[in-house]
Structure formats: C-alpha cells, structure tokens
Amino acid sequence: MQVHRLPLRQTNQFSALFLDYMDQASALTEYSGNFPNLEGFAKQIEQKSFSDENRKVLVEVLKRQYQNLTIQPDLDILAQPNTFTVTTGHQLNIFTGPLYVVYKMITVINLAKSLKKAYPDYNFVPVYWMATEDHDFAEINHFSLFGKKYEWNTEQKGAVGRMNPKELETLINEFADCPEIFKNAYLQKETLSDAVRCYIQELFGAEGLICIDADDRQLKTLFSPIIKDDLLNHSAFAKVQATSHALENLGYKTQIAPREINFFYLSNGVRERIVKEEGVYKVLNTELQFSEEEILALLESQPEHFSPNVVLRPVYEEVILPNLAYIGGPSEVPYWLQLKGAFDYYGVTFPILMPRNFALVVNKASAKKMEKLDLSIEELYHDEITLRKNFVEKHSENSLSLAEEGKTFSAIFEEILAKAIKIDKTLEGAVKGEQQKLLNSLDHLEKRLKKAEERNQETEVNQLLGLKHKLFPNGGSQERVENLMNFSLNNSEFISTLLNTFDALDFSYYTIVE
C-alpha cells in the first residue's frame, strides 16, 4: 500500500471560505476560535469550563442510552473533571451511508489519541453526535454498493432517530453479504437511534468512540435557558445574520440562514418549525398554536418538544458536552464560522473547528490502469477537460501547439504594421484586423490538430475517462458516493488501515493506493 498526500487546494474540491480558514486568513480570525493544532488545543483546555452538574446529567443519560448493549463503554470517565470530548456529528444514514461518514469517526478517534499523547494529564473521549432529531429522511434512506443504489421506503414520519428500522429487512435480503452487525442492529432494535448506536459500538467501540442521542428530556432541560431566549428575544437570529453579512461582504458564500425562531416542535411523527405570528406561536403544518405563556409553560414542563435547527444545534452540543473541538466536512466548518457571535452572546465556549480527513482509495485494478496510462496522483485530481488535454499532449509524438508559429506571424505583422503606418496611419486598423484573423485561424487549426490527435489516442483516452469516472463517480469525490462495504467486504482490515493511516492533525487529501 502507498499513501500520497496532497494540499487541499490542489484537489479543486473546496470552497474559498473553507480553504482560507485552513490557511488562517487574518480576515476570519474574529469568526473562529483557536486553530486546530496542539498549541490551539492547549489554549482550548484552559478556556473550556463545564459544570459538575452537567457532567452528572451527561453520564446518567449516556448510561441509560447504552444500557441495552452487551458491551458497555467506560462512561464514568466523563464524570472526571479532567475529561474532555472531541466531537463529530452526522445523520443516521443507513448502513453508514457514504464513506466520508466513516472518515469522520476515524478522524475524531485519532484526534483523541493524539491529544492524550500530547497532554497525558487529561482524558479525551471521541464522540459521535447522532443527528437523531433530523427529519430529512430522503438524505439518509439510501446507499450505493458496487454500483447499485439501495433505498429504504417507509410511511414513517418525523425525527429519523425515533423510526423503527425493522423495515430494513427487505434491503438486507437484497444482498447476500450483508454483515451481521447491520442485521443484528436493524432487526433487533426498536429505533434507528438504538440501531446506529449498536453497530457503531461494534465497529468503533474498542477505539473508545461514544454515541450520544441528544433527543432527551434531561439534556434539553440543560439547554432550556437558551431555548427561552430564542423564543422571546430571537438573539441568535440577529447575531448570526450580522456575521453572515460580514462574511458575505468579504466575498464569501455563506451556508446557512438563521430564523427568528430556530426551533422545531418535536413529537412522535412530527418535527415542524415553530413560528411567531401576531403574538401567537404556531407549529407549521399542524393545528398546534400557543400563547407566550403557554409555550413557556410547555418549555418548563416538556423541554423535549423543542428541537434546535442548524443554527442552535451546535450551541446545544457545546452546552451539554465538555467539548474541545468539532470535526466536520468542508460545508460544516464554514457554517460554524457564521455562529461565533451567537456563542459569544450566550457565553458558551466556541469549539476548535477542524476538518475531517479526506481520502481517495485506489484499488489494485485501478492502480494498474494508472500505471499503464502513466498517470500521476496529482493528475487524477484535474478536471476532466484538463486531464484529457494534458494526457493527449503528453502522449503525442507530434507537437500540437502552434504558439511558435503565432509568434512568428506576429513578428511579421509588426514589420508590416511599421511599413503601413509610414505610408498611411489609417492603415493600422486594417493591418491589426488581418493579424487577428490569422491568429484566430491558427487557434482554430490548433484545436483541430488536438482533436485529430485525440482521435488517434481514442482507446487510451476512453480508458483514462473510465478510470476518472470510477474514482470520481458522477464527477464528485469517491467518499461522497461509495459505501464502506464497497471496501470492507473485500478487505476485513479496511477500517484498521484507515485508523493507522489517517492523522487527524494532518490537513491533507490522502490518496491510498492498495
């Protein structure tokens, strides 16, 4: 196996805001916290405060959530005041979803190990924040395996974590090699949340990864002061909107838009936005409505009915966890930058933002094709047009450029122009016009030469594009399409290989050639 690392900018896959943050652009300093390096983590440890009461609640909730699993993680470590968490989060994609979800888990696990090595007096627990309250079922109900799309169709509604996963038996029966960990999880657990916790424990429990389901009454109680402020004062709306406008004025494209009320009403089968109209709080697409007194009473008695959206979910995370860092993807890190003002307003420590590891896995068959085509790792990441153009020029026995000829003609026309001006200055336009016509003709001829040479290399070009499409399906990154099982079914050590290969603090794009 060979491992190559490329700078993130060189892959042409990331936004300007993300890349500038990773380059520590001075214009973004006020919107971020400490930088994700060991020095930044030393500062974060000093700055993060977390009450004993919140620790007690956190441990109680996690023990209850893990009580039905045969193998129990060490949750008591979270009760110790010198214990911190590092967190990643994602939706409950079936069968782990796209490969990058696994990369998130591995990054946060390896980060905890690196921090323990650097700061042995502290404990660091990797956490997977399960997006159990999310209701966008279409984003989690499918996965791709060996080129075939598998999809879960259901009549169930509301928060996905509360759905019963036993309907997935139909999908399990569609492919013979379904690992037992998925069968056991989906067919034996009553909720998708419990099922995901079950198989994540099987996959990563030995590495210390802990899952948290924040759809919980006790945890929401800890968050209720901020819920109340959002309902009454809409503070987060003003703060996030101001930061978003500031980032846009710097030329960046922002990811999320705050609302006056950043909560959904959550109950079985329902997760709908709460809005305030003419002094009345209404739950969209339902008959539910509340006066201010009634909604505050509901918050006091049943805080579990309030589910934060993308704006306040990050704040909720940092309130209920002794967290130092959030590990996210290339869209998540930028949108967290929009939230710094809200964190500051609520007096909640802003976490270190860091990207997950990124990778492209090249199997043996694809590696052989690369060798045959004399294709470098760097060339793999070129866009299709550039890749094809460079390949044809590189492998042509003839020169395909007419640049030198163009220079020669330009020099000749300079002489003609000098003669023409001496005779009649009004001829300058005519001479330059004829020169441009000739240069345009040369450009046209050069394109025809390249097209002709591309036809001569048609077989190799088709092989090249086939390899490109395989490694970058649908023109995107492999990790956003392929599933874990595409690799683990043929290589039982695949996860171990990633754990040993990735470095959470190395912000490169990995190419793993098997």
Read off the pLDDT of residues 184-220 as tens digits, 9 standing for 90 and up: 999 999 999 999 999 999 999 999 999 999 999 999 9
Residue 443, in any domain of the structure? yes
CB count in 10 Å sphere of residue 301: 9
Confidence grade of residue 461 (pLDDT, cut at 50, 70, 90): confident
Rg (CA), the chain: 28
Query: Is the same domain home to 58 and 128?
Result: yes
pLDDT at 196: 98
Per the structure, the count of domains in the chain is 3
Confidence grade of residue 441 (pLDDT, cut at 50, 70, 90): confident
pLDDT at 138: 96
Query: Is the same domain home to 313 and 213?
Result: yes
Token pair for 227: 């819920």
- Domain boundaries, position 417: 400-456
Query: Is the same domain home to 187 and 90?
Result: yes
Residue 294, in any domain of the structure? yes
Query: What residues form DSSP beta bridges with 89?
Result: 129
Query: Is the same domain home to 89 and 123?
Result: yes
Average pLDDT over residues 97-123: 98
CA distance linking residue 327 with residue 317, whole number of Å: 13
Query: Is the same domain home to 152 and 203?
Result: yes
CA distance linking residue 370 with residue 312, whole number of Å: 46
CB count in 10 Å sphere of residue 160: 29
- For 471-489, letters b (16+ CB in 10 Å) and e give bbeeeebbbbbbbbbbbbb
pTM for the whole structure = 0.91
Residue 495 has pLDDT above 80, yes or no: yes
Read off the pLDDT of residues 365-416 as tens digits, 9 standing for 90 and up: 999 999 999 999 999 999 999 998 888 877 776 776 778 888 888 889 898 9
Query: Is the same domain home to 147 and 210?
Result: yes
> End of a domain among 274, 307, 340?
307
